[in-house]
Amino acid sequence: MKKLTNKILAVLALGLFVSTSSFAQKEGNGKRPEGPPSIKQILKDLDTDKDGKISLKEAKGPLKKDFKKIDTNNDGFISKKEIKNAPKPEKRERPRN
């Protein structure tokens, strides 16, 4: 009887784990974002000191990788205008299964 109870608890725990982890991966509306983020969203996500521009320390991903290319006035910050005029990162193709 004790073994059966332990098995039932293990199955319930696994079910709870799977359901909560899949729920946590969804965004608020359950959809994946389509296309690149807006300039407003980039600033909201990366501009941690809320000065309206992104420093090299705040930059991540393609902005960090291409910081010197995007920072056209070489002031050490990326402004809204520079984000708008930034070259689009190349799309990586997903491998086919």
pLDDT truncated to tens, each residue of the chain (97 aa)? 666 555 565 555 555 555 554 444 444 555 666 777 899 999 999 999 999 999 999 999 888 999 999 999 999 999 999 999 987 766 666 677 6
Distance CA 30, CA 23 (A): 9
* Residue in the block written with tokens 């690149």: 36
Q: Distance between CA atoms of 45 and 96, rounded to whole angstroms?
A: 31
- Domains of the chain (ranges; CATH) run 2-25+37-85 (1.10.238)
| In the chain, % of residues over pLDDT 70 | 58
Identify the pLDDT of residue 5.
59
CA distance 77 to 81: 11
Enter the pTM of the model.
0.58
Max alpha carbon distance in the chain (Å)?
74
Which residue type occupies 31?
K
